[in-house]
Structures are given as structure tokens and as C-alpha cells.
């Protein structure tokens, strides 16, 4: 089964915009349908919690929905300890723990909306994809 890390920007984006056309929303739905294994870390969960707690996002995401999402991620995703040290791979140091999550968990893909992070391409066998690219990869891996 495909193993993937979703950058916090992908998880948060699932709650903004039009869910019927949103690649991030479809990706979360496919995870809930067990079409891939989602890997998370305390670092990513912290980023999601901080972002959704931001005043701008609180206008769009109810606190109850935020709490449900966080519990779901904690309970159903594979919690990954960051044992693979990553320094200086990402364009921004704050993204190195996201790459570490992917490497430590044996992910096939790291899905991010950050173009500069995607420009890394592949690192340690992990392919960096946009949400749209990952949606296409999932469709190919799980034909209906």
C-alpha cells in the first residue's frame, strides 16, 4: 500500500475552498477510505493545530471540526518518530522535520503545496508531489 506524508498545508487546505473540487479534500477522503497509509509526526500535528487555531482559519473551520480532525489524525494515521535526521535538505529549515517524517516512516510520497519544497524532487527514495500529482498517483494505484 502507498505510504504518504501530507504537509500541514495540504491538510489545512482540505478545509478551505470548494471540497468538491479540492485535491487536498479528495486526498483526505481517499485516506479515510484506506486507499493509502497516512504518516504524521508530532511536528506536523503541531503545525496543523497552530494553523487551524489562527484567527483567519477560525473564520472558516469550526472548533469542533478542528478537534475532530486532530483526533482523527492522532488516532488513525501512523504516528512516526523522527529518527532520521534531516538538515539543510529543504529550502526552509522548518520543512526539514516534514522530510524527516517521510524518511523515518518509509513514505513513498511527500505531498506539499509548497513549490520550493517540491523542487527538491526526490530525497532518500521519497518523491515530492503536489496534491494534484498525488491525486493522480492514487487514481493510478487504486483504479475503480
pLDDT in tens, 94-114: 888 998 999 999 999 999 999
Q: Strand runs (DSSP E) across the chain, as ranges?
A: 3-6, 37-40, 78-79, 109-111, 122-123, 126-129
135 has pLDDT over 90 = yes
How far apart CA 123 and CA 22 sit, in angstroms, is 27
Closest CA to 108 of 98, 118, 97, 123: 123
What's the topology of domain 3-141?
A: Rossmann fold (3.40.50)
Span 17-24, average pLDDT? 78
The grid cell for 2 is 502507498
Spatial distance between the Cα atoms of 97 and 18, rounded to a whole number of angstroms: 29
Does residue 66 surpass a pLDDT of 70? yes
**DSSP code of residue 65:** H
Provide the pLDDT for residue 17.
67
Quote the pTM value: 0.93
In this predicted structure, the answer to whether residue 28 has a pLDDT above a threshold of 70 is: yes
Domain coordinates in residue numbering, the chain: 3-141
Please write the tens of the pLDDT for every residue from 41-53. 999 999 999 999 9
What residues are paired with 79 via a beta bridge? 40
Amino acid at each position: 500500500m502507498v505510504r504518504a506524508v501530507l504537509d500541514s498545508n495540504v491538510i489545512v487546505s482540505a478545509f478551505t475552498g470548494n471540497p468538491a473540487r479540492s485535491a487536498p479534500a479528495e486526498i483526505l477522503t481517499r485516506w479515510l477510505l484506506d486507499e493509502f497509509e497516512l504518516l504524521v509526526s508530532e511536528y506536523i500535528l503541531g503545525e496543523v493545530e497552530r494553523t487551524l487555531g489562527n484567527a483567519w482559519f477560525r473564520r472558516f473551520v469550526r472548533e469542533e471540526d478542528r478537534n475532530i480532525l486532530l483526533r482523527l489524525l492522532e488516532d488513525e494515521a501512523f504516528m512516526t518518530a523522527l529518527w532520521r535526521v534531516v538538515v539543510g535538505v529543504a529550502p526552509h529549515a522548518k520543512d526539514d522535520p516534514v522530510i524527516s517524517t517521510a524518511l523515518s516512516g518509509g513514505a513513498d510520497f511527500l505531498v506539499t503545496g509548497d513549490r520550493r519544497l517540491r523542487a527538491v524532487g526526490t530525497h532518500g527514495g521519497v518523491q515530492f508531489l503536489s496534491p494534484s500529482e498525488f491525486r493522480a498517483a492514487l487514481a493510478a494505484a487504486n483504479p475503480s
